[in-house]
Amino acid sequence: MGQSMTKRSERTQAKPLRILTTGIMLSAFIALPAQAEWLKAETQHFVVYGDTSEASLRRYARKVERFDALLRTYYPIQTDHEIPKLEIFMAEGRRDMNRISPGISEGVAGYYSPNSGRIYTVVDTRSSMGDVVVFHEYAHHFMFQMKANAYPSWFVEGFAEYYSTANLTDERIQFGRHNPGRVNSLNMGFNTWARMEDVLKWRISDSGRFPAHLYYAQSWAMTHYFMSTPERTQMLRRYLTAVASGEDSVVAMQAATGRTAAQLQDDVWRYTSGSINVTSPQIPVTHPEVTVSQMSKAEADAIWLDVRLDNAPIKLPAEEEAEGDTQSDAQKARRARDRRQANENRAELIRSAFALGERYADSDVGRLLTARAHRLSQRPDLALAVLEPSLGDHATNAKVLRVAALALLDQTESASSIDDANELRRQAAAYLARAMDAEPLDFRIYLGLNDVRRGQPRYPTDNDISTLEVACTLAPQSFDCRTRLGHAYMARDMNAEAITILTPVSNSPHQSAYKRRARQMIDQARQALGQAPLEEASEPEEPQDDIGAPDTTSDARPLPAS
C-alpha cells in the first residue's frame, strides 16, 4: 500500500499463523476527499492511519505500542501464532467523525467496533479524552486475547476504566489515576450508589432508578480497590476463577473476600473517599520501532468510505420486536427515527462509493468501492463484473479476492438450480483459498469459508469446526465468530465447548442482538447438560452519550468525550 518511507522493522515480521487443521478449504460528508497526505504507521501490534505529520504519527504509534507493552508486562499472553494488528483511525475533529459515522453524537470522542466486517478503533484526536478512549477500548480488545476471558460484566468495564487513564511518556509510566467523570458520579453521595449486588450481576435494581454511569463508576472503583494491594488482588483472582467456573457472582465475591455485598460496598466507598493509589511501575520504558508509509491518493480519499463499506450489512436486519411490547411511545419513536436515519445514511454511502469509485475506476481501490456499492444495491453480479480486471490468475489482493467470493455467494439464493449454486460456492471457495494464501491473518476470509459451507450437507464437519476455530483464534473479539462457532459446537453436541466460547458474549456489558442470542444459546446448551438456565436480569440502559455508535448490529462501543 503506497511506497515505504522507512525500512520495515524486523520486529513486525512475526512467524506466520499456524493453521489449526490441514484440511481447511481452499452521506454528503463522505463525498469530500482528503486534502492532505494520509500516512500509515505500523508497529508490532497496531496499524495507525492519520492525516497528520510523520512525526506526530510516529509519536502516537509509539504511545499505543507502549500501552500494549504495559498490559503485557502484567498480563503476558502466550500464543503460537501472530496476533493480528488493531487498526486505529485518527479523526481530526467532528468533521472526520461525521465522515466515518454521519450524525454521530457530539459527545462521542471515539469508539471500538469488533464486528465481523472489520475490527478497528476511531479516536477524535482533538478531544481531551482521546487517549482515555483508545486505552479503554484497547484494554477491551486485549482482554479478549487473554486465555481466561469469561469475565463478569463489571470487571470487563472496570479493567478498561482502570487502565484508561494511563500516562505514558519517554521518561515514565503511570496508571491507576482517577477519571474525573467517574469520580463525580461516585461523589454524588453514598445513598446514590447502585447496590453492590446489582453491579456484580450488571442488572437494574428493583426500582430501576440507577443509570448506567453509576455502574461504570462503581466498576472502576471496585477494580481500583482490588488492585490496590496484593492481598486484595488475590481475592479478586479467587473471585474471577469462581465466576468463570459458573458460580453466582454475589456468592463468589463473599466467599473470596469474606465480606457481604453491603460490607464490600462500604469498603469501596471508604477507599474512594480517601487518596487512591497511583502506580508508577519500575519497568523499562519501551522505544517501539515504527514503520511509516504514505498512502496513495486513492487510498487517502477512500479512507472513511472503505471502513463504512466494510461494516455495512448487505441486507438490513429485520427490526426486533420488544419483548412484551414494553417500550414507551418515546422509545418507539426514537427507534423509528434511528432506522430512518440509518436508511438515509446507507443510501448516501452507496452514492458516495459509486462517485469515488468512478473517479478511480482503473485501480483496485476504485473497483472495490464500486463493487461493494453494487452488493449493497443487491446487484452482486455487477459487483463481480467490476472486479473482473483485478481477478487474474496472479492476483494477490486478498480484499479483492474476498469481496469477489462474497459477490458469488450473494447469488446462490437466486441460482436456477442446486448445481448452479454449488458451482458458485466452488468458485467462491477458490477465491477465498487464494485470499488466505495472500493474507492468512484476516479472520474474515475464514468466515467466508464458513459461509460457503453453512447449510450444506454434513455441516458442520470437523473441518468446518476447525475453520471457525481459526477465525475465533484470530479475532476472539468478534461476537459473530463466537456465535457461529457456538452454533457449530452445539450441532455436534459439544455443549460445554459452546458455553465456553459464548460466555464472553453473554457477559458483555453492552446490550446487543449478539448478547441476547448468546444467552439463549447458553441456556439451550445448559439444558442439554442438565444444568439450570442463566439468571434473568434487566440490564442498565446505555448512557445517552453513547448514542451515535456507527454500527448498531454489532457490539460497537462508543465512549463519551467527557
Segment 414-456, tens digit of pLDDT: 999 999 999 999 999 999 999 999 999 999 999 999 999 999 9
Q: State the pLDDT confidence band at 299, using cuts at 50, 70 and 90.
A: very high
Query: How many whole angstroms separate alpha carbon 123 and alpha carbon 69?
Result: 20
Give CB contacts under 8 A, 24+ apart, made by 252-257. 253/200
Confidence of residue 321 (pLDDT cuts 50, 70, 90): low
Does the pLDDT at position 30 exceed 70?
no
Separation of alpha carbons 189 and 96, rounded Å? 39
Say if residue 127's pLDDT is above 90.
yes
pLDDT at 461 over 50: yes
Residue appearing with cell numbers 428493583: 206
What share of residues in the chain are helix, strand, coil (percent, to 5)?
A: 55, 10, 40
For residue 260, give the 3-state DSSP assignment.
coil
Decide if pLDDT at 367 tops 70.
yes
- The mean predicted confidence, pLDDT, of the chain is 87
| Distance (Å, whole) CA 94 – CA 107 | 10
pLDDT given for residue 2 in this prediction: 42
Q: Does the pLDDT of residue 202 top 80, yes or no?
A: yes
Q: In angstroms, rounded to a whole number, what is the distance separating the alpha carbons of residues 406 and 425?
A: 10
Q: Which helix (H) or strand (E) holds 124?
A: strand 119-124
What letter does residue 544 receive in the DSSP assignment? G
Using a pLDDT cut of 70, give the percent of the chain over it.
Answer: 85
Can you give the pLDDT at residue 510?
86
**Which phi and psi (to 5°) does residue 174 adopt?**
-135, 145
Residue in 158, 193, 177 with CA at minimum distance from that of residue 267: 193
- Percent of the chain with pLDDT strictly greater than 90: 70
Q: In this predicted model, which residue has the larger pLDDT, 482 or 332?
A: 482
Tell me which residue of 242, 245, 270 sits closest to 256, measured CA to CA. Answer: 242
Average pLDDT rounded to a whole number, residues 163-181? 90
Query: Which of the 8 DSSP states describes residue 417?
Result: S
CA separation for the pair 242, 249 (Å, rounded): 8
Where are the alpha helices (H) located in 312-397, listed in sequence order? 329-359, 364-376, 380-387
3-class DSSP state for residue 146? coil
Report the alpha-carbon distance of residue 509 to residue 267 in Å, rounded.
Answer: 24
C-alpha to C-alpha distances, 75 to 71, 111, 112, 194, 260, nearest whole angstrom: 6, 24, 21, 30, 29
- Unique residue bearing C-alpha cell 520486529: 11
Q: Is the pTM of this model over 0.85?
A: yes
Indicate the pairing of strand 86-91 with strand 46-50. parallel
Please state the rounded mean pLDDT for residues 17-37.
46
Res 545 pLDDT > 50? no
Contact in structure between 140 and 476 (CB atoms under 8 Å): no
Q: What is the mean pLDDT of residues 183-189?
A: 85
Determine which of 17-31, 38-52, 218-232 has the lowest per-residue pLDDT on average. Answer: 17-31
What is the rounded CA–CA span in Å between residue 148 and residue 237?
Answer: 11
Residues 127 and 109 sit within 8 Å (Cβ to Cβ)? yes
pLDDT of 539: 60
Q: Which residue has the higher pLDDT, 15 or 311?
A: 311
Residue spans in the chain of domains classed CATH 1.25.40.10: 331-530
Residue-level pLDDT at 315: 86
176 φ/ψ sector (left φ>0, alpha ψ -120 to 50, else beta): left
Q: What pLDDT sits at residue 33?
A: 47
Whether the pLDDT of residue 544 is over 50: the answer is no
For 149-204, give the DSSP string.
----HHHHHHHHHHHHT-EE-SS-EEB-PPPHHHHHHHTT-GGGSPPHHHHHHT--
Given its phi and psi angles, is residue 493 left (phi above 0), alpha (psi -120 to 50 degrees) or beta?
A: left
If we measure between CA atoms, which residue out of 189, 195, 129 comes closest to residue 164?
129
pLDDT at 476 over 90: yes
Task: Choose among 511, 481, 487: nearest CA to 499.
Answer: 487
Label residue 87 exposed, middle or buried (CB < 10 Å: 0-12, 13-18, 19+): middle
**pLDDT score at 210:** 55
Set of cell numbers at residue 120: 478497528
**Of residues 210 and 450, more confidently modeled:** 450
For residue range 71-122, list pLDDT tens digits in order. Answer: 999 999 888 888 999 999 999 999 999 999 999 998 899 999 997 689 999 9
End-to-end CA distance of the chain: 36
Going by pLDDT thresholds of 50, 70 and 90, the confidence category of residue 13 is very low
356 half-sphere exposure, CB direction, 13 A CA radius: 30
* Per-residue model confidence as pLDDT tens digits over 481-498: 999 999 999 999 999 999
* pLDDT at residue 553 is higher than 70: no
Averaged pLDDT for residues 31-60: 87
pLDDT value of residue 317: 72
Question: What φ, ψ does residue 501 adopt, rounded to 5°?
Answer: -75, -25
Is 90 exceeded by the pLDDT of residue 338?
A: no
Dist CA 190 CA 181 (whole Å) = 16
Residue with cell 448514542: 547
pLDDT interval class at 249 (50, 70, 90)? very high
Tell whether domain 331-530 is in CATH 1.25.40.10.
yes
Q: Give the chain's length.
A: 562
Output the pLDDT for position 537: 60
Task: Tell whether omega for the bond before 16 is within 30 degrees of 0, i.e. cis.
Answer: no
Residues 457, 432: contact at Cβ < 8 Å?
A: no
Q: Dmax of the chain from CA atoms?
A: 72
* 22 pLDDT more than 80: no
- Give Cα 242 to chain centroid, integer Å: 26
Please give the C-alpha separations between residue 359 and each of 372, 452, 478, in angstroms, as whole numbers: 15, 33, 34
- For 267-281, write each residue's pLDDT tens digit: 999 999 988 889 999
pLDDT the model gives residue 425:
98
> Which residues, in sequence order, are CB contacts of 188 under 8 Å at separation 6+?
none
